[in-house]
């Protein structure tokens, strides 16, 4: 049965528009941004940012060099953060419910300090809180680990540090490559379509695993 749930942040809890940075850059007369960043693939510069291998300043400076532009720091941050749309109230309520039901919850996200700073301000403005960490047993951000999905080591870190049994652990992500990597380590890994209901997906998986592995009954 499922006892642990590992959730992705962007694309699962956070509504994202991966094309928004491309459109915003086009408005800034930078037509080549789509060549270096998309949901499917990205330039190693963005991977390095996600791993915390670059400071915010280094990222901005190297992006300017890569694109041959003279954008300000604020223009770059605004374009980069434009992919973040919202965190819907029903998803926060879902976290409350799962936490109250004693599921062990973990957040595992490929993210960076530019996005995290933006999310802190967003959560404070909209929900009067600075993070969602109170609903999780532990949070894992790639920029603080030096690792990122779909590298097996980042999943192994979560499993080992928390003594998780993969066969009792549900992993939900919006990126197929991340789901495949997690499944390869024995996690119950499912792909989330952002147009569907996250709560329904999780409840269906809980019910499915309960049906596959009913509790043993004591013999009379």
- State the alpha helices, DSSP H only, in 169-214: 176-184, 198-212
Give the domain 18-81 fold.
Answer: DNA polymerase; domain 1 (1.10.150)
Average pLDDT over every residue of 17-46: 93
Domain definitions of the chain by residue range:
4-15+88-212, 18-81
Spatial separation of the C-alpha atoms in residues 37 and 220, rounded to whole Å? 62
Spatial separation of the C-alpha atoms in residues 178 and 9, rounded to whole Å? 13
pLDDT digits (tens, 9 = 90+) for 80-109: 999 999 999 999 999 999 999 999 999 999
DSSP state of 135: G
pLDDT of residue 3: 97
Average pLDDT over every residue of 137-163: 98
- The answer on pLDDT for 199 being more than 50 is yes
pTM: 0.94
Task: Please give the radius of gyration of the chain, using alpha carbons only, rounded to the nearest integer.
Answer: 19
pLDDT of residue 40: 81
Average pLDDT over every residue of 162-169: 98
Give the domain 4-15+88-212 fold.
Answer: Rossmann fold (3.40.50)
pLDDT of residue 214: 79
pLDDT of residue 39: 81
Mean pLDDT rounded to a whole number for the chain: 95
Q: What percent of the chain has pLDDT over 90?
A: 93
pLDDT of residue 216: 64
pLDDT of residue 219: 43
């Amino acid at each position: 049965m499922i006892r642990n749930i590992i959730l992705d942040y962007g694309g699962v809890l956070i509504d994202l528009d991966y094309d928004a940075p491309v459109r915003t850059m086009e408005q800034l007369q930078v037509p080549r941004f789509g060549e270096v960043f998309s949901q499917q693939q990205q330039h190693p510069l963005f991977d390095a940012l996600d791993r915390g291998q670059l400071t915010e300043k280094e990222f901005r400076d190297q992006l300017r060099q890569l694109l041959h532009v003279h954008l300000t720091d604020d223009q770059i941050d605004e374009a980069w953060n434009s992919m973040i749309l919202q965190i819907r109230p029903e998803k926060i309520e879902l976290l409350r419910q799962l936490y109250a039901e004693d599921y062990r919850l973990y957040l595992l996200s490929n993210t960076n300090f530019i996005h995290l700073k933006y999310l802190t301000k967003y959560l404070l403005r909209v929900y009067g809180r600075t993070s969602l960490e109170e609903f999780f047993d532990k949070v894992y951000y790639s920029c603080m680990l030096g690792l990122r999905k779909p590298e097996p080591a980042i999943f192994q870190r979560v499993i080992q540090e928390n003594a998780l049994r993969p066969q009792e652990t549900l992993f939900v992500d919006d990126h197929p490559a991340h789901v495949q990597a997690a499944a390869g380590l024995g996690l119950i890994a499912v792909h989330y379509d952002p147009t569907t209901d996250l709560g329904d997906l999780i409840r269906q998986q809980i019910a499915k695993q309960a049906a596959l592995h009913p509790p043993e009954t004591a013999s009379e």
